[in-house]
């Protein structure tokens, strides 16, 4: 072989070597979605770089590059392992990276750009979870619960659980449980305090954590490949063994004539097109996994199984009655299209008017100790009036503790702020942190 051919061969081999060892980095995908699991008040979302903000809707899949902001509202985002991010009024966060490595590790990089955010990281092995704010950044490797506050002149991190390392221009700072580190945005100075100053929304964050902890323990945890959405299934419905079908799930308050697509929206994503987004507070897992089955004598029920779908373009149903028409996505356009055919439970003062065919729509999560009993009463009477604890219909005042609250109007259970159904879219038929 000539020297020139030998050199060419070495170049080719070197190029192939470089290509092979760069494949894992090149193959990292960006197909992950996380769940917008809770909305109250004014919450808006932007789906990507340069995109305008629009009204956010519950159960909307959030993809890499999305931005979430609140005015007078608050919101929760759930990750696959059950980790959560919560933001309070006048806050904004950007999902800089939501990707999946070849190894299966999930990479989540967030940036708090204003306001206050609570992070409860589950500590799943090998997953990468980081939060940036101002000039600082936190990389979480183990389970941790913390509060990040970013103001005009300063910022702070309070650690309620775990051990956190904050990377700052001054170097790495270790913040332990029940400690707070504060930063001056005009300098590189920081202060480490061995206590946590309670803020108005700490108790709200605690309530949400307690809800997830309580109902995650009661969930039938072998029916889904992911943890997010499972606590809501445990609270808003129950599993039962249907002869010939096996283990099925059905929401409470699902009266005669109810079907799983009575309330929701067709939402558009540039990378996926239109996908169905359920308006029901439990409406995540059953619309990304498994099938909806109509069982004579039982009504509609969800059957786990199959492959997880990031963005449903067409809901799956089995054994539908002849009167049922499967909903279809809009043929064109990008505007969110609402479908509101069902009824919702609504507030009358401090009482909730619970309707049997609401399937949980309008029912605040975690407020009733026995949803099965409430559902049975509603089946017998059609409508039940139930008093709701004050904290579930109140927001903290701007200057006081969480207990000193002022009432606000509840979020509308139907999809307000989006276009009316088209022919394509409609179908018939305060404790301290621990």
Do 303 and 342 reside in the same domain of the chain? yes
Last residue of a domain, one of 168, 197, 226: 197
Domain co-membership, 8 together with 79? no
Question: Can you tell me the distance from the alpha carbon of 78 to that of 73, in angstroms, rounded to the nearest whole number?
Answer: 17
At residue 48, the pLDDT reads: 74
pLDDT at position 429: 33
Residue 66's nearest CA partner among 34, 88, 37 is 34
Query: Which domain-ending residue is among 137, 169, 197?
Result: 197
User: pLDDT, tens digit, for every residue of 242-275?
Assistant: 999 999 999 999 988 899 999 999 999 887 889 9
Range(s) of the domain holding residue 261 = 199-434
What CA–CA distance (Å, rounded) separates 230 from 224?
Answer: 8
Low-confidence ranges of the chain (pLDDT < 50): 2-28, 392-434
**CA contacts within 13 A on the Cβ side of 128:** 13
> For residues 170 and 150, what is the distance between their CA atoms, to the nearest angstrom?
18
Same domain (yes/no): 222, 136? no
C-alpha closest to that of 407 among 419, 395, 399: 395
- Going by C-beta distance under 8 Å and a sequence separation of 6 or more, which residues neighbour residue 328? 314, 424, 425
Asked if residue 113 and residue 23 are part of one domain, the reply reads no
Q: How far is CA 163 from the centre of its chain?
A: 25
Structural contact between residues 252 and 238, judged by C-beta atoms closer than 8 angstroms = yes
Q: How many domains does the chain have?
A: 3
Angle at 63 between CA 149 and CA 410, to 5 degrees: 60
Residues 68 and 146 both lie in one domain: yes
Residues 407, 422, single domain; the answer is: yes
CATH number, domain containing residue 71: 2.60.120.1440
- Closest to 302 (Cα-Cα) out of 225, 228, 238, 257: 238
Dihedrals phi, psi of 289, to nearest 5 degrees = -160, 140
Global pTM value: 0.84
pLDDT at position 186, please? 85
- Expressed in angstroms, the distance from the first to the final Cα of the chain is 72
Q: Collect all residues with Cβ–Cβ distance below 8 Å to 343 and sequence separation of at least 6.
A: 355, 357, 358, 361
pLDDT tens across 277-316, in order?
999 999 999 999 999 999 998 999 999 999 898 877 677 8
The C-alpha atoms of residue 246 and residue 292 are separated, in whole angstroms, by 13
Both 63 and 208 in one domain: the answer is no
Closest CA to 353 of 364, 345, 344, 365: 345
Query: What's residue 49's pLDDT?
Result: 67
In angstroms, the CA 333 to CA 266 distance is 11
C-alpha dihedral over 136, 141, 143, 145, to 10 degrees? 0
Are 219 and 261 part of one and the same domain?
Answer: yes
Residues 231 and 371 in one domain: yes
pLDDT at 333: 92
Using the 3D structure, point to which of 142, 171, 197 is the last residue of a domain. 197
Residues pairing with 346 in the sheet: 353
Tally Cβ neighbours within 10 Å of residue 124. Answer: 17
Predicted pLDDT of residue 312: 72
Give the separation between CA 179 and CA 194, rounded to whole angstroms. 5
Whether 32 contacts 99, CB under 8 Å:
yes
Same structural domain, 187 and 214: no
**Do 193 and 242 lie in a common domain?**
no
Tell whether 341 and 416 lie within a shared domain. yes
């Amino acid at each position: 072989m000539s020297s020139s051919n030998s050199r060419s061969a070495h170049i080719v081999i070197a190029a192939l070597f470089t290509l092979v060892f760069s494949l894992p980095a090149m193959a990292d995908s960006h197909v992950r979605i996380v769940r917008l699991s809770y909305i109250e008040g004014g919450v808006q979302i932007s789906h990507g770089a340069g995109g305008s903000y629009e009204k956010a809707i519950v159960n909307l899949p959030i993809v890499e590059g999305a931005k979430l902001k609140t005015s007078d509202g608050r919101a929760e985002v759930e990750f696959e392992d059950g980790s959560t991010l919560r933001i309070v009024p006048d806050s904004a966060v950007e999902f800089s990276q939501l990707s999946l490595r070849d190894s299966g590790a999930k990479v989540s990089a967030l940036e708090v750009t204003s306001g206050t955010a609570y992070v409860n990281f589950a500590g799943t092995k090998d997953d990468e979870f980081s939060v940036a704010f101002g000039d600082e950044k936190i990389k979480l490797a183990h389970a941790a619960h913390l509060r990040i506050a970013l103001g005009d002149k300063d910022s702070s991190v309070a650690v309620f659980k775990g051990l956190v390392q904050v990377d700052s221009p001054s170097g790495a700072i270790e913040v332990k449980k029940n400690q707070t580190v504060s930063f001056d945005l005009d300098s590189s100075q920081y202060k480490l305090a061995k206590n946590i100053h309670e803020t108005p929304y700490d108790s709200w964050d605690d309530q949400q954590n307690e809800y997830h902890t309580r109902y995650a323990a009661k969930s039938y945890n072998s029916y889904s490949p992911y943890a997010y959405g499972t606590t809501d299934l445990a609270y808003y419905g129950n599993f039962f063994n249907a002869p010939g079908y096996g283990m099925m799930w059905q929401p409470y308050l699902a009266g005669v004539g109810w079907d799983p697509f009575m309330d929701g929206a067709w939402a558009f994503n540039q990378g996926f097109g239109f996908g169905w987004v359920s308006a029901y507070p439990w409406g995540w897992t059953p619309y990304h996994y498994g099938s909806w089955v109509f069982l004579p004598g039982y009504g509609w029920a969800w059957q786990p199984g199959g492959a997880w779908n990031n963005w449903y373009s067409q809901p799956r149903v089995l054994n539908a009655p002849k009167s049922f028409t499967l909903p279809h996505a809009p043929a064109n356009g990008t505007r969110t299209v609402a479908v509101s055919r069902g009824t919702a439970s609504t507030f009358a003062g401090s009482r909730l008017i619970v309707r049997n065919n609401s399937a949980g729509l309008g029912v605040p999560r975690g407020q009733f100790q026995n949803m099965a009993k409430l559902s049975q009463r509603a089946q017998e009477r059609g409508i039940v009036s139930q008093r709701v604890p004050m904290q579930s219909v109140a927001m903290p005042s701007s200057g006081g503790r969480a207990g000193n609250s002022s009432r606000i109007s509840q979020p509308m259970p139907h999809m307000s702020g989006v276009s009316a159904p088209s022919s394509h879219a409609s179908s018939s038929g305060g404790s301290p942190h621990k």
